[in-house]
C-alpha cells in the first residue's frame, strides 16, 4: 500500500516537533489539536494542513501523541479511522488499552500499532527518536516510511502492548537513575563536596547514565527545572510499569518504591512541573538544595 496522506493528532511538547518532520516525506500532512489555534500555527510554520478531526482520521496513516491511552480511546470512539488505514499511537500508553484498540480496530480493517517514543523534546525536534513498536509487524512494514522522518531507530518489540510495556519500563529506569543520583548528591552535599566536580567524575565513571549526562547539571544543579516532560506523565509511566508487574506477579522492589516516590513527588509539587523537579521532594526531606 502506498501512503498518500498522513495525519497527526496531538501537537503537544512531542507531537508538535514530530509532525513537523512529516512534510519531508508526504505532501498531504493533516494536523489536528484540541486547542485548534496550535494546529493553525503548525500549518503556517511547517506546511502542514490544519483540519477537522473527522478529516484527519481519513488519512492513510494516523499518528496520535496524547497524554494517556484514555484520550486516544476517546478520540477513536469519537472519530473512527477509515478501513485500510494504520493508526500509529505514539502516546506512552497502557498495554491493555493497546490490545483492546488493536482488536476493536481490526474489526474495522484498521491496524493499530503502539509506537511510543523516547528521546525527549530535543530528540523530537532533531528527528532522532527511538520508536518501540508493538502490534501487527506487516502494518509496521508499511507504516515505517511514515515513522522514519522523526525516528533515529524503529524497533519492533512484539505483539500489541509490547511497545507500551518497553516504554514504561524504560521510563521507570530513567526515574531510578534520577532519584538515585539525587540521593547520592544529597549525601555528597552533606560532605561539602563540590557537586559539579562530583558529577564530572561520575560522568567519567561507572555510575554514569543518560540522566547524569543530559539532565542533572542542566536541570537540577542549575535549579532551573525547565518544563519539557511533565512529572505527572512520568508518574503515569511508572504506574503502568508497576501495574504490569502486579498483573504478572513480578517481584521488583526497587521499581515499586520508585513508583511510590514519583507519585508522592507528583502529588506534592505544583502542576505542571518538569519530571526533574521530583528531586525537590528529596531536597525538602534533606533540607538541602542540590546546587
| Contacting residues toward ligand NDP, per CB under 6 A | 10-15, 33-35, 38, 65-67, 71, 91-92, 117-118, 120-121, 228-229, 233
- Residues designated as active site: 167
Q: How far is the CB of 75 from ligand NDP (least distance, A)?
A: 6
Number of Cβ within 10 Å of residue 203's Cβ equals: 14
Nearer to ligand NDP, 179 or 229 (CB): 229
Nearer to ligand NDP, 15 or 134 (CB): 15
* Bridge partners (DSSP) listed for residue 145: none
* Bridge partners (DSSP) listed for residue 63: 8, 88
Q: How far is the CB of 38 from ligand NDP (least distance, A)?
A: 5
Whether the Cβ atoms of residue 67 and residue 45 lie closer than 8 Å to each other: no
Contacts of residue 131, defined as CB under 8 A and 6 or more positions apart, other chains included, come to 90, 115, 116, 117, 147, 151, 153, 154, 155
Nearest to 267 by CA among 243, 245, 239: 239
| Residue 9, H or E segment | strand 5-9
What is the Cα–Cα distance from 32 to 54, expressed in whole angstroms? 9
Nearer to ligand NDP, 53 or 188 (CB): 53
Nearest to 168 by CA among 269, 106, 250: 250
Nearer to ligand NDP, 125 or 183 (CB): 125
Q: How far is the CB of 118 from ligand NDP (least distance, A)?
A: 6
Residue 230: left if φ>0, alpha if ψ -120 to 50, beta else—which one?
beta
Q: What is the DSSP string of 218-229?
A: IIIITT----SS
Q: How far is the CB of 171 from ligand NDP (least distance, A)?
A: 8
Nearer to ligand NDP, 18 or 202 (CB): 18
Cα 97 to chain centroid distance, Å, stands at 16
Nearer to ligand NDP, 33 or 99 (CB): 33
Q: How far is the CB of 120 from ligand NDP (least distance, A)?
A: 4
Q: How far is the CB of 92 from ligand NDP (least distance, A)?
A: 4
Nearest to 90 by CA among 137, 157, 147: 147
Amino acid at each position: 500500500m502506498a501512503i498518500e496522506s498522513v495525519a497527526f493528532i496531538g501537537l503537544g511538547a512531542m507531537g508538535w516537533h514530530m509532525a513537523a518532520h512529516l512534510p519531508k516525506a508526504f505532501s498531504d500532512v493533516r494536523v489536528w489539536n484540541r486547542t485548534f489555534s496550535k494546529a493553525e500555527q503548525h500549518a503556517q510554520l511547517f506546511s502542514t494542513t490544519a483540519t477537522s478531526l473527522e478529516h484527519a482520521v481519513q488519512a492513510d496513516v494516523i499518528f496520535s501523541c496524547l497524554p494517556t491511552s484514555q484520550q486516544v480511546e476517546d478520540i477513536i470512539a469519537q472519530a473512527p479511522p477509515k478501513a485500510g488505514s494504520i493508526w500509529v499511537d505514539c502516546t506512552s500508553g497502557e498495554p491493555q488499552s493497546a490490545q483492546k484498540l488493536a482488536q476493536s480496530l481490526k474489526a474495522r480493517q484498521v491496524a493499530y500499532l503502539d509506537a511510543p517514543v523516547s528521546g525527549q523534546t530535543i530528540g523530537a525536534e532533531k528527528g532522532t527518536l527511538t520508536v518501540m513498536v508493538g502490534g501487527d509487524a506487516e502494518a509496521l512494514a508499511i507504516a515505517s516510511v511514515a515513522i522514519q522522518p522523526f525516528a533515529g531507530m524503529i524497533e519492533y518489540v512484539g505483539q500489541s502492548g509490547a511497545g507500551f510495556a518497553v516504554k514504561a519500563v524504560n521510563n521507570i529506569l530513567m526515574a531510578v537513575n534520577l532519584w538515585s543520583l539525587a540521593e547520592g548528591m544529597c549525601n555528597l552535599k552533606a560532605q561539602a563536596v563540590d557537586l559539579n566536580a562530583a558529577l564530572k567524575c561520575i560522568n567519567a565513571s561507572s555510575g554514569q547514565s543518560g540522566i547524569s549526562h543530559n539532565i542533572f547539571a542542566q536541570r537540577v544543579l542549575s535549579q532551573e527545572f525547565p518544563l519539557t516532560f511533565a512529572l505527572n506523565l512520568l508518574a503515569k509511566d511508572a504506574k503502568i510499569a508497576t501495574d504490569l508487574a502486579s498483573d504478572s506477579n513480578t517481584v521488583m522492589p526497587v521499581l515499586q518504591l520508585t513508583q511510590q516516590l514519583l507519585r508522592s513527588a507528583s502529588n506534592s509539587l505544583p502542576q505542571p512541573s518538569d519530571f526533574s523537579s521530583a528531586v525537590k521532594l528529596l531536597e525538602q526531606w534533606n533540607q538541602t538544595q542540590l546546587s
